């Protein structure tokens, strides 16, 4: 496994639409493992492939509150249902030092593939739904700052 460089706002790759994954090779598994390691070292809860310079529709999640399992990945994720809405603070590994208030759906249903290409469905609510929407936006070249109602300097820990 390897830690990859996280691209930050201003890097043009973050504004490009990612390509659908159709080749489920061993290289894909290595990329996902690298993404987990990179996310962990940066203390993130989610990471999308474009954030490490790869224009493929892949996200990894570490949902620390444990809803739907703690760590998982999604290949070719697509939101197929949204319900409700709420405004909450978000941050991003690609936008260091900032936070913003963003309106998102409270509940989502996502269709995605696993490493064997099998189609799966996941339903998520609250924080996990927010993470999924944020990371899937990355796959379409959208940053949370594009949707933020208000931006703030991040509080230092």
Q: Which regions of the chain are under pLDDT 70?
A: 65-69, 156-157
Rounded-to-integer distance, Cα 29 and Cα 4, Å: 15
* Structural contact between residues 73 and 57, judged by C-beta atoms closer than 8 angstroms: no
Given this model, what pLDDT does residue 122 score? 97
Sign of CA dihedral 41, 5, 95, 31: negative
Tokens of 98: 């900032």
Rounded-to-integer distance, Cα 30 and Cα 85, Å: 36
Q: Which amino acids are annotated catalytic?
A: 135
pTM (2 d.p.): 0.94
């Amino acid at each position: 496994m390897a830690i990859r460089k996280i691209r930050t706002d201003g890097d043009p790759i973050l504004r490009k639409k990612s390509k659908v994954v159709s080749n489920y090779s061993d290289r894909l598994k290595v990329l996902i493992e690298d993404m987990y390691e990179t996310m962990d070292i940066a203390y993130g809860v989610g990471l999308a492939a474009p954030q490490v310079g790869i224009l493929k529709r892949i996200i990894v999640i570490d949902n620390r509150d444990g809803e739907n399992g703690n760590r998982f990945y999604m290949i070719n994720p697509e939101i197929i249902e949204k319900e409700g809405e709420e405004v909450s603070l978000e941050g991003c590994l690609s936008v260091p030092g900032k936070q913003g208030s963003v309106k998102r759906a409270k509940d989502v249903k996502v269709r995605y593939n696993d490493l064997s290409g099998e189609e799966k469905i996941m339903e998520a609510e609250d924080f996990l739904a927010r993470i999924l929407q944020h990371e899937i936006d990355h796959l379409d070249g959208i940053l949370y700052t594009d949707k933020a109602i208000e931006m703030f300097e991040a509080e230092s820990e």
